[in-house]
Structure 1
Amino acid sequence: MRGSVVGTVVTLTAGTLLTAAMTTASASPPTGTTAPVTSASARPVLVDCYFHRNIRPGDFILACGDGNSRLTALRWSQWGPDGAKGVGVNWVNDCTPYCAAGTFHSYPVVIRLSGEQAWKKHPYFQRFTNLSLTYTGARPDTFKQVMTYSLWD
Protein backbone atom coordinates (compact mmCIF):
# COMPACT_ATOMS: atom_id res chain seq x y z
CA MET A 1 0.00 0.00 0.00
CA ARG A 2 2.80 2.42 0.92
CA GLY A 3 4.48 1.89 -2.49
CA SER A 4 1.33 2.87 -4.38
CA VAL A 5 0.88 6.03 -2.27
CA VAL A 6 4.48 7.09 -2.93
CA GLY A 7 4.02 6.37 -6.66
CA THR A 8 0.83 8.43 -6.74
CA VAL A 9 2.48 11.35 -4.92
CA VAL A 10 5.46 11.27 -7.32
CA THR A 11 3.15 11.18 -10.36
CA LEU A 12 0.98 14.04 -9.07
CA THR A 13 4.04 16.15 -8.19
CA ALA A 14 5.58 15.61 -11.62
CA GLY A 15 2.28 16.52 -13.29
CA THR A 16 1.97 19.69 -11.22
CA LEU A 17 5.53 20.77 -12.03
CA LEU A 18 5.01 20.06 -15.73
CA THR A 19 1.76 22.05 -15.75
CA ALA A 20 3.46 24.97 -13.99
CA ALA A 21 6.34 24.93 -16.47
CA MET A 22 4.00 24.83 -19.47
CA THR A 23 1.81 27.62 -18.09
CA THR A 24 4.82 29.85 -17.40
CA ALA A 25 6.29 29.23 -20.86
CA SER A 26 3.04 29.86 -22.69
CA ALA A 27 2.25 32.98 -20.65
CA SER A 28 5.61 34.59 -21.41
CA PRO A 29 5.42 37.24 -24.12
CA PRO A 30 7.69 36.87 -27.15
CA THR A 31 10.90 38.84 -26.83
CA GLY A 32 12.20 41.22 -29.49
CA THR A 33 10.96 41.63 -33.02
CA THR A 34 12.47 38.41 -34.30
CA ALA A 35 10.03 36.11 -32.49
CA PRO A 36 8.04 33.96 -34.90
CA VAL A 37 4.58 35.30 -35.67
CA THR A 38 1.89 33.04 -34.22
CA SER A 39 -1.33 34.52 -35.57
CA ALA A 40 -2.54 36.06 -38.78
CA SER A 41 -1.23 39.55 -39.26
CA ALA A 42 -1.93 42.42 -41.63
CA ARG A 43 1.81 42.60 -42.24
CA PRO A 44 3.42 40.06 -44.59
CA VAL A 45 5.92 37.61 -43.13
CA LEU A 46 9.36 36.38 -44.10
CA VAL A 47 9.50 32.57 -44.00
CA ASP A 48 12.85 31.22 -42.81
CA CYS A 49 14.63 27.88 -43.36
CA TYR A 50 12.67 26.29 -40.53
CA PHE A 51 9.33 27.51 -41.94
CA HIS A 52 8.90 30.03 -39.12
CA ARG A 53 7.02 33.23 -39.90
CA ASN A 54 9.00 36.35 -39.00
CA ILE A 55 8.43 40.08 -39.10
CA ARG A 56 11.54 42.31 -39.09
CA PRO A 57 14.03 39.53 -38.25
CA GLY A 58 17.48 40.46 -36.95
CA ASP A 59 19.14 37.78 -39.05
CA PHE A 60 18.20 35.47 -41.91
CA ILE A 61 19.90 32.45 -43.50
CA LEU A 62 20.00 32.63 -47.30
CA ALA A 63 21.76 29.28 -47.86
CA CYS A 64 19.57 26.89 -45.89
CA GLY A 65 21.40 23.76 -47.02
CA ASP A 66 24.87 24.67 -45.83
CA GLY A 67 24.63 28.07 -44.10
CA ASN A 68 27.31 29.58 -46.35
CA SER A 69 25.37 32.84 -46.81
CA ARG A 70 23.64 34.65 -43.96
CA LEU A 71 22.21 38.12 -43.35
CA THR A 72 22.95 39.64 -39.94
CA ALA A 73 22.59 42.94 -38.08
CA LEU A 74 19.36 43.63 -39.99
CA ARG A 75 17.66 46.98 -39.36
CA TRP A 76 14.35 47.52 -41.12
CA SER A 77 13.12 50.97 -42.16
CA GLN A 78 9.96 49.73 -43.86
CA TRP A 79 7.76 46.63 -43.53
CA GLY A 80 4.29 46.34 -45.00
CA PRO A 81 2.10 45.12 -47.85
CA ASP A 82 4.05 47.23 -50.35
CA GLY A 83 7.35 45.58 -49.44
CA ALA A 84 10.12 45.79 -46.89
CA LYS A 85 13.44 47.59 -46.90
CA GLY A 86 16.38 47.34 -44.58
CA VAL A 87 20.14 47.27 -44.25
CA GLY A 88 22.47 44.66 -42.88
CA VAL A 89 25.52 42.53 -43.50
CA ASN A 90 25.76 39.51 -45.80
CA TRP A 91 28.28 36.97 -44.44
CA VAL A 92 29.42 34.76 -47.32
CA ASN A 93 31.80 31.80 -47.19
CA ASP A 94 34.46 31.98 -49.92
CA CYS A 95 34.67 28.14 -49.89
CA THR A 96 38.42 28.30 -50.51
CA PRO A 97 39.88 25.73 -50.80
CA TYR A 98 36.50 24.10 -50.06
CA CYS A 99 33.49 25.24 -48.02
CA ALA A 100 34.31 23.41 -44.79
CA ALA A 101 37.74 25.09 -44.74
CA GLY A 102 36.56 28.43 -46.20
CA THR A 103 36.50 31.86 -44.63
CA PHE A 104 33.43 34.03 -44.09
CA HIS A 105 33.60 37.62 -45.36
CA SER A 106 31.18 40.43 -44.55
CA TYR A 107 29.57 42.69 -47.12
CA PRO A 108 27.19 45.59 -46.32
CA VAL A 109 23.88 45.32 -48.17
CA VAL A 110 20.52 46.97 -48.67
CA ILE A 111 17.74 44.38 -48.50
CA ARG A 112 14.40 44.62 -50.28
CA LEU A 113 11.52 42.18 -49.90
CA SER A 114 8.66 42.10 -52.39
CA GLY A 115 6.02 39.94 -54.05
CA GLU A 116 3.46 39.52 -51.29
CA GLN A 117 1.51 36.28 -51.79
CA ALA A 118 -0.50 33.79 -49.71
CA TRP A 119 1.73 31.14 -48.13
CA LYS A 120 0.78 27.61 -49.26
CA LYS A 121 1.47 26.09 -45.83
CA HIS A 122 -0.64 28.71 -44.02
CA PRO A 123 -2.78 30.52 -46.62
CA TYR A 124 -4.11 33.03 -44.08
CA PHE A 125 -0.58 34.52 -43.93
CA GLN A 126 0.82 36.72 -46.67
CA ARG A 127 4.53 36.12 -47.28
CA PHE A 128 7.24 37.82 -49.28
CA THR A 129 8.32 35.85 -52.37
CA ASN A 130 11.42 37.80 -53.48
CA LEU A 131 14.50 39.11 -51.73
CA SER A 132 17.05 41.38 -53.38
CA LEU A 133 20.43 42.41 -52.03
CA THR A 134 22.25 45.50 -53.25
CA TYR A 135 25.92 45.47 -52.28
CA THR A 136 26.91 48.99 -51.23
CA GLY A 137 30.66 48.34 -51.39
CA ALA A 138 32.70 45.22 -51.97
CA ARG A 139 30.90 42.00 -52.91
CA PRO A 140 31.87 38.34 -53.46
CA ASP A 141 33.79 37.80 -56.71
CA THR A 142 31.02 35.95 -58.54
CA PHE A 143 28.14 38.17 -57.35
CA LYS A 144 26.49 41.02 -59.24
CA GLN A 145 25.96 44.35 -57.46
CA VAL A 146 22.25 43.43 -57.17
CA MET A 147 21.38 39.81 -56.44
CA THR A 148 17.73 38.65 -56.46
CA TYR A 149 16.49 35.46 -54.84
CA SER A 150 13.13 33.69 -54.95
CA LEU A 151 12.06 32.79 -51.43
CA TRP A 152 10.74 29.34 -50.52
CA ASP A 153 7.10 28.60 -49.94
Structure 2
Amino acid sequence: MHFPAPMTGRCLCGAVSLGATPNSPHVAVCHCDICRRWGGGPLLAVECDDDVVVNGEDHVVVFASSDWAERGFCRECGTHLFYRLRQGGHTAIPVGLFQEYENWQLTQQLFIERKPSFYSFAEKTRHVTGEELFAEFLANHSGSDST
Protein backbone atom coordinates (compact mmCIF):
# COMPACT_ATOMS: atom_id res chain seq x y z
CA MET A 1 0.00 0.00 0.00
CA HIS A 2 1.30 3.43 -0.90
CA PHE A 3 0.49 6.51 1.11
CA PRO A 4 -1.51 8.55 0.90
CA ALA A 5 -4.30 6.06 0.36
CA PRO A 6 -7.88 6.39 1.58
CA MET A 7 -8.77 4.05 4.42
CA THR A 8 -11.95 3.26 6.29
CA GLY A 9 -12.57 2.42 9.89
CA ARG A 10 -15.54 2.03 12.15
CA CYS A 11 -16.56 1.99 15.78
CA LEU A 12 -17.34 -1.20 17.70
CA CYS A 13 -21.10 -1.09 17.11
CA GLY A 14 -20.89 0.11 13.49
CA ALA A 15 -22.99 3.25 14.05
CA VAL A 16 -20.06 5.45 12.96
CA SER A 17 -17.57 4.91 10.17
CA LEU A 18 -14.66 7.07 9.12
CA GLY A 19 -13.00 7.62 5.80
CA ALA A 20 -9.56 9.20 6.02
CA THR A 21 -6.20 9.40 4.30
CA PRO A 22 -3.27 8.81 6.67
CA ASN A 23 -0.32 11.07 5.90
CA SER A 24 2.06 8.12 6.27
CA PRO A 25 2.31 4.64 7.83
CA HIS A 26 3.87 6.25 10.92
CA VAL A 27 2.17 5.79 14.26
CA ALA A 28 2.68 8.20 17.13
CA VAL A 29 2.13 7.37 20.78
CA CYS A 30 0.83 10.09 23.07
CA HIS A 31 1.56 9.71 26.77
CA CYS A 32 -0.12 12.93 27.93
CA ASP A 33 -2.35 12.79 30.97
CA ILE A 34 -5.50 13.46 28.95
CA CYS A 35 -4.87 10.67 26.41
CA ARG A 36 -4.09 8.20 29.17
CA ARG A 37 -7.21 9.19 31.10
CA TRP A 38 -9.31 9.07 27.91
CA GLY A 39 -8.35 5.51 26.99
CA GLY A 40 -6.76 3.99 30.07
CA GLY A 41 -3.36 3.98 28.38
CA PRO A 42 -1.41 5.82 25.72
CA LEU A 43 -3.09 6.84 22.46
CA LEU A 44 -1.64 5.19 19.35
CA ALA A 45 -2.71 7.26 16.39
CA VAL A 46 -1.99 8.22 12.80
CA GLU A 47 -2.14 11.75 11.46
CA CYS A 48 -4.65 12.15 8.66
CA ASP A 49 -5.35 14.73 6.01
CA ASP A 50 -8.02 17.32 6.65
CA ASP A 51 -10.62 15.48 4.58
CA VAL A 52 -11.77 13.05 7.27
CA VAL A 53 -15.29 11.91 6.38
CA VAL A 54 -17.55 10.85 9.25
CA ASN A 55 -20.62 8.75 8.47
CA GLY A 56 -23.18 8.48 11.25
CA GLU A 57 -22.42 11.93 12.66
CA ASP A 58 -25.62 11.84 14.71
CA HIS A 59 -23.91 9.13 16.81
CA VAL A 60 -20.74 11.20 17.39
CA VAL A 61 -20.16 13.13 20.58
CA VAL A 62 -17.40 15.74 20.56
CA PHE A 63 -15.74 16.73 23.82
CA ALA A 64 -13.59 19.87 24.13
CA SER A 65 -10.65 18.37 26.02
CA SER A 66 -8.60 21.58 26.04
CA ASP A 67 -8.70 25.15 24.78
CA TRP A 68 -7.13 24.00 21.48
CA ALA A 69 -8.37 20.44 20.86
CA GLU A 70 -11.38 18.16 20.92
CA ARG A 71 -11.99 14.43 20.93
CA GLY A 72 -14.78 12.50 19.29
CA PHE A 73 -16.35 9.22 20.30
CA CYS A 74 -19.38 7.10 19.43
CA ARG A 75 -22.31 7.84 21.73
CA GLU A 76 -23.54 4.26 21.34
CA CYS A 77 -20.46 2.14 22.10
CA GLY A 78 -17.88 4.70 23.30
CA THR A 79 -15.26 3.96 20.64
CA HIS A 80 -12.65 6.71 20.37
CA LEU A 81 -12.86 8.17 16.87
CA PHE A 82 -10.52 11.14 16.64
CA TYR A 83 -8.42 13.82 18.30
CA ARG A 84 -8.38 17.07 16.37
CA LEU A 85 -7.18 20.60 16.78
CA ARG A 86 -9.89 23.24 16.75
CA GLN A 87 -7.70 25.29 14.39
CA GLY A 88 -4.92 24.18 12.10
CA GLY A 89 -6.41 21.08 10.51
CA HIS A 90 -4.58 18.37 12.48
CA THR A 91 -6.61 15.19 12.99
CA ALA A 92 -5.26 12.05 14.66
CA ILE A 93 -7.20 8.81 14.26
CA PRO A 94 -6.64 5.87 16.61
CA VAL A 95 -4.69 3.39 14.51
CA GLY A 96 -6.87 0.48 15.66
CA LEU A 97 -9.78 1.82 13.61
CA PHE A 98 -7.86 0.98 10.42
CA GLN A 99 -7.69 -2.79 10.74
CA GLU A 100 -7.23 -3.53 7.03
CA TYR A 101 -3.61 -2.35 7.09
CA GLU A 102 -0.94 -4.14 9.09
CA ASN A 103 2.35 -2.43 8.15
CA TRP A 104 2.20 0.48 10.55
CA GLN A 105 5.50 1.74 11.97
CA LEU A 106 5.76 3.12 15.49
CA THR A 107 7.98 6.17 14.99
CA GLN A 108 7.53 8.69 17.79
CA GLN A 109 6.39 9.11 21.36
CA LEU A 110 4.85 12.40 22.41
CA PHE A 111 4.83 13.87 25.91
CA ILE A 112 7.57 11.38 26.75
CA GLU A 113 8.12 13.13 30.10
CA ARG A 114 4.57 12.11 31.11
CA LYS A 115 5.02 8.39 30.33
CA PRO A 116 4.54 6.30 33.46
CA SER A 117 7.29 3.85 34.33
CA PHE A 118 5.11 0.70 34.26
CA TYR A 119 5.14 0.28 30.46
CA SER A 120 7.53 0.84 27.57
CA PHE A 121 7.76 0.15 23.85
CA ALA A 122 10.57 -1.92 22.33
CA GLU A 123 10.74 0.03 19.05
CA LYS A 124 13.33 2.77 18.66
CA THR A 125 11.32 5.96 18.35
CA ARG A 126 11.80 9.69 18.37
CA HIS A 127 11.05 11.01 21.87
CA VAL A 128 9.30 14.38 21.99
CA THR A 129 8.48 16.32 25.15
CA GLY A 130 5.32 18.40 25.43
CA GLU A 131 7.41 21.57 25.34
CA GLU A 132 9.16 20.44 22.14
CA LEU A 133 5.83 19.46 20.56
CA PHE A 134 4.27 22.88 21.22
CA ALA A 135 7.42 24.63 19.96
CA GLU A 136 7.32 22.57 16.72
CA PHE A 137 3.63 23.33 16.26
CA LEU A 138 4.18 27.07 16.72
CA ALA A 139 7.17 27.06 14.36
CA ASN A 140 5.16 25.23 11.69
CA HIS A 141 2.12 27.47 12.05
CA SER A 142 3.67 30.91 12.52
CA GLY A 143 2.45 33.28 9.88
CA SER A 144 -0.76 31.34 9.29
CA ASP A 145 -4.24 32.75 9.76
CA SER A 146 -5.04 30.32 12.59
CA THR A 147 -3.46 32.26 15.44
Could you say which TM-score interval applies, normalised by the shorter chain? under 0.3
TM-score, normalised via structure 2 length: 0.24
